Amino acid sequence: MEFNSADIQAFRDIWVFCEQREGKLSDTDFELISEGRKLADERGARLVGVVLGWNLGDEVRELGGYGADEVIVCDHPLLEVYTTDAYAKVLCDVVMEEKPEVLLIGASHIGRDLGPRCAARLHTGLTADCTHLDIDMGCYRKFLEESSTLDLAAVKMDMEDKNLKMTRPAFGGHLMATIICPRFRPCMSTVRPGVMKKAAYSAEMAERCEIRRVPVELSDGDLKTRVTEVVKAARKMVDLIGADIIVSVGRGISRDVEKGIALAEELAQILGGGVVGGSRAVIDAGWLSADHQIGQTGKTVHPRLYVALGISGAIQHKAGMQDSELIIAVDQNDGAPIFEVADYGICGDLFEVVPLMIEEIKGVQKTGLTPKG
C-alpha cells in the first residue's frame, strides 16, 4: 500500500528514535522514552522505541524499563556508524511500513541532521528543539496556567483536540510557541536533551518489553557518503546536564568578569566538584563558551543544587533551571525574578557575598563536616 501522510486515521502509536553510540544508549533516550510513555498514556496508544545499529544485543531492553512497550531493532553493517543516507532511508522505510502517529527524536547533532531529512521524505511537519509536549488538552491547559501569562478565560480551546502540542522557544527565546501538525502524520519533534525528566527504572517493565527485529533493505548503492574512520577529539566541554551542583553567573559579574567567573569556579569546587554555567547574556558577551549556557536557548538542568550569581532571572533562564532540587540566588535587586523560584535568596553584591560564602564553607569543612546541597 502506498504511503500517504495525509491519511491521518491510518496512523497509531507513539515512537521514539533512540540514538546509540557503539551499542550504548544515552540518557536522552531514556528521557524521551519517559516522556513518550506520558504521551502514549494520554493518547491510549502503545510506546515503541526504534534503535538502528549493528550487532545490537539485548541491551535495548533497557528502554522497556523506562516505559517502552516494544523496541524495534534495525540491525545492519551499514548502520554501525551514523550516516545521513543510511539512517534516513531505514528509519523512513520502517515508518512508512508501520505508520506511527508521533515520532520523537533527540535534538543531538545526529537528531538535528536526521529529523529534517526524514520529515521531508515523509511529507510531514517537524518542530525542532521542543521543550514541552502534550496531547491531552487538559494537560496542555494546565501547562499554560503554570508557564504563561495568557488570559486563558479569553482563549477559546478545542478540548477534544488530539494533535501533539509541541512547544519551543521562538524569536531568540523571547517567546514560547506551541505548534501542531493537524494535516499530516507522523507528528515529528526533536526534543532538547535534559528537558524531559527520566522516569524511575523498572526491571519488571523491562522484562515485559517486546524486542522485534525487522529486516533491513540497505546497500552501498543507497549511500552517497561512507565513513572510513572515526577520530575522537579530546575537547573538554562542561557537562551541565549530568552535574549535581551548578554555579551560574549572569550580567551581575560585568564589573569584573574575570574575578566573577573565578569566584563562581571556586564556589563550585568547594561545594563538591560542581561546574559553572551562565545566562544567555554572559554567553552572548563572550565571557563563557556556548556549552555553559542554561535556559530556553541553552541547556535545561535539574541539579541537586543550583546557585545563581548576578542573574536577574528572565523567564528564558528560569525555564532552564527552575526544577533544580535546591536553588540559592544572589542578586543586588531585591525585586529580581530569580527570587521567585529561589529556595534561599541573598540580596547583595555577589563580589562581597560569595567570598563570605566560600569562607563559611571552608570553616565548616575544617570541622570535618561536608556542606550538602
Annotated binding site for FAD: 251, 279-280, 293-297, 310-317
* Identity of residue 269: Q
Q: Which residues are CB-neighbours of 147 under 8 A, at least 6 positions away?
A: 132, 176, 319
- Residues making up the binding site: 251, 279-280, 293-297, 310-317
Long-range contacts of 292-296 (CB under 8 A, 24+ apart): 292/238, 292/240, 294/240, 294/246, 294/248, 294/320, 294/321, 295/173, 295/319, 295/320, 295/321, 296/131, 296/169, 296/173, 296/176, 296/320
What whole-number distance in Å separates Cα of residue 60 and Cα of residue 105?
A: 16
Report how far apart, in Å, the C-alpha atoms of 104 and of each of 14, 35, 114, 135, 208 are.
8, 10, 11, 13, 22
Report how far apart, in Å, the C-alpha atoms of 285 and of each of 88, 244, 262, 281, 371 are.
38, 26, 17, 6, 33
The count of C-alpha atoms lying within 13 angstroms of the C-alpha of 183, restricted to the half-sphere facing its C-beta, is: 3
C-alpha gyration radius of the chain = 23
C-alpha cell read off for 263: 569566584
The count of C-alpha atoms lying within 13 angstroms of the C-alpha of 15, restricted to the half-sphere facing its C-beta, is: 24
Biggest alpha carbon distance in the chain?
74
C-alpha cell read off for 195: 528537558
The three-state secondary structure class of 72 is strand
C-alpha cell read off for 264: 563562581
Q: What sign does the dihedral 50-55-58-63 (CA atoms) show?
A: negative
